[in-house]
Structure 1
Amino acid sequence: MIVGQIRDLIRSGSLPVGTRLPAERDLCERMNVSRLTLREALRALEVSGLIQIRAGAHGGAFVTAPDTDRAGQGLTDLLSTSGLSASQVTEARIALELGTVQHICERATEDDLRELRVLCDQAEEARELGSYTVDMSYSFHLRAVQASHNPAIGMIMGSIRDAVLMSMRAAHHEGKQGVEEHRAFVDAVGRRDAAEARRILAAHLQRTVDAVAGD
Structure 2
Amino acid sequence: MPSRPRSQPQAAKTGGKPAPMPNAAPEELFKTVSSSRVSQVIVEQIRLLLKEERLKPGDRLPSERDLCVHFGVSRVTVREALRILEASGLVEIRVGARGGAFVTTPDSRQVGEGLATLLSLSPLTAAEVTEARLVFELGIVPLIVERATDEDIEELLAMCDEHIEAMEHGDYTMEMSADFHIRVAAATHNSAVRMLVESFHGPLLMSLRTAHSVEPRMGKRGSVEHREFVAAVAARDVPKATATMRAHLERTAARVRAEGGDPGA
TM-score bracket for this pair, using the shorter chain length: 0.7 to 0.9
Which of the pair has the greater relative contact order for Cα pairs under 8 Å at 6+ separation? Answer: 1
Preserved CA contact (<8 Å) 1:72 1:162: no
| Partner residue, 2:176 | 136
Please tell me whether residue 186 in structure 1 is matched to residue 227 in structure 2: no
Judging changes above 3 Å, is the alpha-carbon distance between structure 1 residues 79 and 150 closer, same or farther for their aligned structure 2 residues? closer
- What are the residue-to-residue correspondences of 1:72-151 with 2, within 5 Å? 72-151=112-191
Deviation at 1:140, TM superposition (A): 1.0
**Unaligned residue ranges in structure 2 (runs of 5+):** 1-40
Give the counterpart letter for 2:195 in structure 1: M
Q: Closer, same or farther in 2 for the Cα pair 1:92/1:11, shift >3 Å?
A: farther
| 1:165 to 2:205 alignment | yes
Partner of 1:65: 106
Matched, 1:175 2:175: no
- Classify the secondary structure of the residue corresponding to 1:149: coil
Instruction: Please state how far the C-alpha of 1:126 moved relative to its aligned partner.
Output: 0.5
Report % sequence identity.
50
Cα distance in 2 between the residues matched to 1:132 and 1:21: 50
Amino acid at match of 2:91: I
Out of 73, 81, 84, the position equivalent to 1:34 is 73
Match in the other structure for 2:5: none
| Corresponding residue number in structure 2 for 1:15 | 56
- Structure 2 Cα separation of the partners of residues 74 and 179 of structure 1: 30
Structure 1 segments, 4+ long, off by >6 Å, are none
Deviations 1:54-92 (A, max 9, x none): 444444334353563x55554444334332111112222
> What amino acid is aligned across from residue 94 of structure 1 in structure 2?
L
Q: Which has the higher helix share?
A: 1
Where does residue 153 of structure 1 map in the other structure? 193
Q: Is the Cα–Cα contact under 8 Å of residues 101 and 198 in structure 1 kept in the other structure?
A: yes
Match of 1:198 among 242, 247, 257: 242
Residue 107 of structure 1 deviates from its aligned partner by: 0.9
Larger radius of gyration: 2
CA–CA separation in structure 1 for the residues paired with 2:52 and 2:240: 40
Contact 1:51 1:61 in 2 (8 A): yes
Residue 255 (structure 2) pairs with residue 211 (structure 1): yes
Q: Which amino acid in 2 is paired with 1:5?
A: Q
Using the alignment, how far apart are the partners of 1:212 and 1:81 within structure 2?
20
Q: Which amino acid aligns with 2:190?
A: N
Greater CA drift, 81-90 or 150-159: 81-90
- Flag the 1:33–1:171 CA change in 2: closer, same or farther, 3 A: farther
TM-score normalised by length of structure 1: 0.85
| 1:121-178 CA distance string (max 9 Å, x none) | 0101110111111121111111111111111111111122122112211211441110
Equivalent position amino acid for 1:44 in 2? I
Equivalent pairs counted in the alignment come to: 212
**Amino acid corresponding to residue 106 of structure 2 in structure 1:** A
Aligned CA distance change for structure 1 residues 185 and 44 (closer, same or farther; 3 Å): same
